[in-house]
Chain A
Amino acid sequence: MQARYYDPVIGRFYSNDPVDAHSVHSFNRYAYANNNPYAYTDPDGKLSIRKIKPTPTPFPITPPPPPNAPPHEAPNTPNGSPPLTLPDLSDLPILTTTSILVIAVAIIQNSENGVQDEYEDLESAVGSVNPLDEVEYEGKTKSQGLKDQGFTEKWSGTDSDGVIQTAFKNPKTGKYTGGHESSKNDKYW
């Protein structure tokens, strides 16, 4: 670890995380990898990042040619410039916001050949991302009307636009209702 010391016996850092809390797991700033080292990694002690299983990459990555193969003919680009060379994502086990930014920087760095219009937005470039897979229990529902239909729990998560979203859960059926943008967002003011 570079930013703080980690005790492997207790599974905790000795000092708190120098990076501000940014997710539902990060409020415990002494935890390592969101208390889930199987799913997360924290290489420098600053930020827990999610590991993902190898999945079909959203980029059409062409495998490198064999050593003596003839030069690969570049596909047509709008201005005849060399094609976009993309970073090899096969070893990149991350699809968090941070990693998306890393990928975006890589794309921008590779787009100096005039093909920066290849992708219209980040989602087009990296594929669909759904951070709402990680949701936080907020507490008990207070509305009697909701409780009357079994929706007794309030849950929230942050979507890919960084907006906190809230819905009500029926713990008996596992179903959700009333999904809406949370009052916790600062964008209203």
Chain B
Amino acid sequence: MNLLKMTNIGKTICLVVGISMNNFIKVEQDYALNQYDTLSKAIDAGKSNIELKVKSKLINGQVVLGYQFNGTTLSIGFTNDKYLVISPGNYCITWDVVDKAPIIENRPLEQRVIFEFPNNKRAKWEWEEILDSFVGKQVAISSSDQFLFIFSRDSSEFMFESLVDQDNVNFKYLNISES
């Protein structure tokens, strides 16, 4: 009886601690964004990689089966047996569409991460809510010269961006947020 009580107390304490603990991480965009004089030039820059444009058509309109994410690399599986793999790259988001499920290093993810940006604004790292919302739905991607955008039918548009941890510049977070 005492043991059971202690266990319950222990669970209660864990629950309270879990809810109240937010992990604030100071981050900034991993790279300076390319800047163009006109919207047309910004669009042209995004059109430059023809190979990736062709690859995007392999998954656009397909239904998401599931995903695997370790904070840095994301793999999204589709019903046509294609996989979209996304990770931070050099001055851009790197992504590819492949035929085999990639092997992603397992890494425990903290559930309540709040990013703090240099402009003192905060944003919750909502990867789970957003990615869960795509499962079972048709999605499409669109890329710029540095970002990747993803959306489902009639949903908001989300973008992947690379955020670097200011206390550990060797660690980059793959963030997904509404654009």
Chain A residues proximal to chain B, CB less than 8 Å:
130, 132-133, 135, 141-149, 151, 154-155, 157, 159, 165-170, 173-183, 188-189
Contacts and interface: CB of A to CB of B under 8 A. Distances in A.
Contacts, number: 125
B91 interface: no
B40 A130 contact: yes
B18 interface: no
10 contacts: A143-B161, A143-B178, A145-B117, A145-B177, A159-B43, A166-B157, A167-B43, A169-B39, A181-B142, A183-B142
A155 B41 CA distance: 13
A143 B177 contact: yes
Given A135-B39, A145-B29, A148-B119, A183 B44 contact: no
Contacts of B179: 141-143, 146, 154, 168, 178
A145 B140 contact: no
Interface residues of B, number: 47
Given A165-B43, A177-B42, A147 B178 contact: no
B153 interface: yes
Contact of A189 (B32, B153, B163): B153
A179 B121 contact: no
User: By CB atoms of chain B within 10 A, which of A132, A166, A174, A176 has the most?
Assistant: A176
Given A142-B177, A148-B118, 8 more contacts: A132-B43, A143-B159, A143-B161, A167-B144, A178-B159, A179-B41, A179-B44, A183-B155
Contact of B39 (A132, A144, A146, A183): A132
Contacts of B38: 132, 176
A144 B146 contact: no
Closest 5 CB pairs of A and B: A179-B42, A188-B140, A179-B43, A175-B35, A183-B151
Interface of B: 28-29, 32-46, 60-61, 115, 117-119, 121-123, 138, 140, 142-147, 149, 151, 153, 155-157, 159, 161, 163, 175, 177-179
Contacts of B117: 144-145, 147-148
B33 A151 contact: yes
Given A145-B163, A154-B179, A182-B142, A176 B121 contact: no
Nearest to B43: A179
Nearest to A142: B178
A28 to B, nearest CB: 22
A188 B60 contact: yes
A132 B44 CA distance: 11
A149 B33 contact: yes
A170 B35 contact: yes
A74 to B, nearest CB: 40
A177 B142 contact: no
Contacts of A177: 33-36, 42, 144, 146
